[in-house]
C-alpha cells in the first residue's frame, strides 16, 4: 500500500488513476480538498476497494500518524501543495503553511513511522517528494537547461516555499537517514487541470468567447510535460531511483507562451470552429505578472540515463489530447467553475 498526499488535485489524481491502472497495490489518498482538489477527478474509482479517500490536511500530525499506523504504507508520494504563482503573490501565507509546514509535518511523521519499522520494511520504505523546476529561478535565452545541480534561485513566494520544502527533504535524508527521493518537474498539462493555469484557461475562455489573457509580450518560455508522462516518471523513480537523489523530469518541449496560445486556437478552429472566425481574435495582452520568470528548461538526461525514462508524448500529441479532453468534458469544467463540486463535498462529508 502507498499513501498519496494531494491525490485529488491535477497531477495527484492523474497519478492515482495511472497507479491503479498499472498496479493492484492499494492507495490511501489524503487531500484537504481546497479549491483545486476535486473528487470528480476520481469518479471512475467509485466502488474500487483499492482506493480509499481521506479528507484531511497534511499539517494535521495526529491524522497523518494515525494513517501511517493503521495502513503501514511502504511509500509516501507527496504531491500536496499550493501551486499557483499568482495566488502566492496575493496570499503567500497559505503557501508557507502547506508547502513548508505541511512537508515538515509529513517528514516528521514519516521519520517516526520508518524508524519503528522492522528491518525488512524499513529498507523498502520510500518518501517521494514531488517538486517543481521553478525552484531553480529563471534562465536567459542562451543558458543551458536546468540540471539537478543547478543552484536554487526561487523568485516567487510559491517557488520559495517549494525550495524550502526541497531543502527540508534533503536535510531529513542527510541528518536522519530517511529514505527519500525528489523529483523536479516542468510545466504539466493534460486532463483535470484546474482552469486558472495557462493551457486550460485558454481552452475554457476561448470556448466561452472570453478574452485570452497573455502576460506581457507572451515570450515567456516553459518546458511542457504531459501529465501522464510525469506520472510514469514518478513511478520509475519510486521503483528504481537512488536514495537521496533528485531527478529532473521534463518534456523536451520549450515553447513561448504565445505559441501555446496560438496552437490552442488553431486546434479549436479545427475541432470546434466558431462562426465569428478564428479564436485568435480573442487574444488579449495584459500587464505582466510581478517578478515573472522569463524561461524555464529541464535537462532530463539523468532520469533517462539511470532509469531509462523518456516522455511518450510530443507536445503536438499531448496538446491535441488535452484540447479534446476539455471539449469532451464540458460538464467537469462547468462544475469546477461553479464551485458545485465543493458544495457537494461539504454536504457529503458534513457528518463524517
- What pLDDT, on the 0 to 100 scale, is given for residue 289? 82
Task: Place 174 in a pLDDT band, splitting at 50, 70 and 90.
Answer: very high
Domain span at residue 68?
Answer: 2-349
> Considering 104, 136, 158, 296, which one is annotated as catalytic?
158
pLDDT at 151 over 60: yes
Q: Is 153 annotated in the active site?
A: no
Sign of CA dihedral 74, 80, 81, 83: positive
Q: Within the chain, what is the greatest distance between any pair of CA atoms?
A: 67
Helix (H/G/I), strand (E/B), else coil: 115: helix
- By the 10 Å C-beta count (0-12 exposed, 13-18 middle, 19+ buried), 123 is classed as exposed
Quick: pLDDT tens for 71-112: 999 999 999 999 888 888 889 999 999 999 999 999 999 999
Assess whether 158 carries a catalytic annotation.
yes
Domain harbouring 272, CATH code: 3.40.50.720
Name the active-site residue from 134, 166, 223, 254.
134
pLDDT higher for 305 or 339?
305
- pLDDT for residue 197: 87
Is 348 a residue whose pLDDT tops 80? Answer: no
Task: Please state, in angstroms and rounded to a whole number, the distance separating the CA atoms of residues 269 and 281.
Answer: 11
At residue 153, φ and ψ (nearest 5 deg) are -145, 60
Q: What pLDDT digit, counting tens, does each position of 234-264 carry?
A: 999 999 999 999 999 999 999 999 999 999 9
Find the DSSP H helices in the chain: 10-22, 61-71, 85-90, 93-95, 103-115, 119-124, 157-176, 198-207, 227-240, 257-271, 301-307, 315-328, 330-338, 340-349
User: How many domains is the chain partitioned into structurally?
Assistant: 1
pLDDT exceeds 90 at position 61: yes
What are the angstrom distances between the C-alpha of 191 and each of 14, 116, 217, 303? 8, 39, 27, 24
Q: pLDDT at residue 278 above 50? A: yes
Q: Both ends of the chain: CA-CA distance in Å?
A: 24
- Return the number of other C-beta atoms located less than 10 Å from residue 193's C-beta: 25
Distances (CA, A) of 80 to 45, 66, 73, 100, 254: 20, 18, 17, 11, 26
pLDDT above 70 for 340: no
For residue range 297-319, list pLDDT tens digits in order: 999 999 999 999 999 999 999 99
pLDDT at 352: 45
| Tens-digit pLDDT profile for residues 19-50 | 999 999 999 999 999 888 899 999 999 999 99
pLDDT range class, residue 341, cuts 50, 70, 90: very low
Burial 298-328 (b: 16+ CB within 10 A, else e): bbbebbeeebebebebebeebbbebbebbee
The per-residue pLDDT for 195 is 85
> Residue 215 catalytic?
no
Model pLDDT for residues 103-150, shown as the tens digit of each residue = 999 999 999 999 999 999 999 999 999 999 999 999 999 999 999 999
**76 by DSSP, 3-state: which?**
strand
CA dist 213 and 61 (Å) reads: 41
The active-site residue out of 31, 57, 82, 133 is 133
The Cα angle at residue 219 between residues 166 and 185, in degrees rounded to 5:
25
Identify whether the C-beta of residue 342 lies closer than 8 Å to the C-beta of residue 35. yes
Neighbours of 29 (CB within 10 A): 24
Amino acid at each position: 500500500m502507498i499513501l498519496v498526499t494531494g491525490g485529488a488535485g491535477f497531477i495527484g489524481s492523474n497519478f492515482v488513476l495511472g497507479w491503479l491502472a498499472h498496479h493492484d497495490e492499494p492507495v490511501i489518498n489524503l487531500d484537504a480538498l481546497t479549491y483545486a482538489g476535486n473528487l470528480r477527478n476520481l469518479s471512475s474509482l467509485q466502488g474500487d476497494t483499492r482506493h480509499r479517500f481521506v479528507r484531511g490536511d497534511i499539517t494535521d500530525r495526529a491524522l497523518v500518524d494515525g494513517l501511517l499506523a493503521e495502513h503501514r504504507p511502504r511509500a509516501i508520494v507527496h504531491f500536496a501543495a499550493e501551486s499557483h504563482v499568482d495566488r502566492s503573490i496575493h496570499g503567500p501565507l497559505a503557501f508557507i503553511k502547506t508547502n513548508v509546514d505541511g512537508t515538515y509535518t509529513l517528514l516528521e511523521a514519516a521519520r517516526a513511522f520508518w524508524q519503528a519499522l522492522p528491518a525488512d520494511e524499513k529498507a523498502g520504505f520510500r518518501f517521494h517528494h514531488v517538486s517543481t523546476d521553478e525552484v531553480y529561478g529563471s534562465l536567459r535565452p542562451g543558458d543551458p537547461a536546468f540540471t539537478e545541480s543547478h543552484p536554487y534561485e526561487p523568485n516567487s513566494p510559491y517557488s520559495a516555499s517549494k525550495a524550502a520544502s526541497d531543502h527540508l527533504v534533503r536535510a531529513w535524508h542527510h541528518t536522519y537517514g530517511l529514505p527519500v527521493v525528489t523529483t523536479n518537474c516542468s510545466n504539466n498539462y493534460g486532463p483535470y487541470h484546474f482552469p486558472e493555469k495557462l493551457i486550460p484557461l485558454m481552452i475554457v475562455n476561448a470556448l466561452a468567447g472570453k478574452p485570452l489573457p497573455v502576460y506581457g509580450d507572451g515570450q515567456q518560455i516553459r518546458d511542457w510535460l504531459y501529465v501522464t508522462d510525469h506520472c510514469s516518471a514518478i513511478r520509475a523513480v519510486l521503483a528504481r531511483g537512488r536514495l537521496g537523489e533528485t531527478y529532473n523530469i521534463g518534456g523536451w518541449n520549450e515553447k513561448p507562451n504565445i505559441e501555446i496560445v496560438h496552437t490552442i486556437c488553431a486546434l479549436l478552429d479545427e475541432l470546434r470552429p466558431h462562426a465569428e472566425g478564428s479564436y485568435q481574435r480573442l487574444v488579449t495582452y495584459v500587464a505582466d505578472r510581478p517578478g515573472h520568470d522569463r524561461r524555464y528548461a529541464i535537462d532530463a538526461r539523468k532520469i533517462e540515463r539511470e532509469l531509462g525514462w523518456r516522455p511518450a508524448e510530443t507536445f503536438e500529441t499531448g496538446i491535441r489530447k488535452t484540447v479534446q479532453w476539455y471539449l469532451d468534458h464540458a460538464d467537469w469544467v462547468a462544475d469546477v467553475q461553479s464551485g458545485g463540486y465543493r458544495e457537494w463535498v461539504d454536504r457529503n462529508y458534513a457528518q463524517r
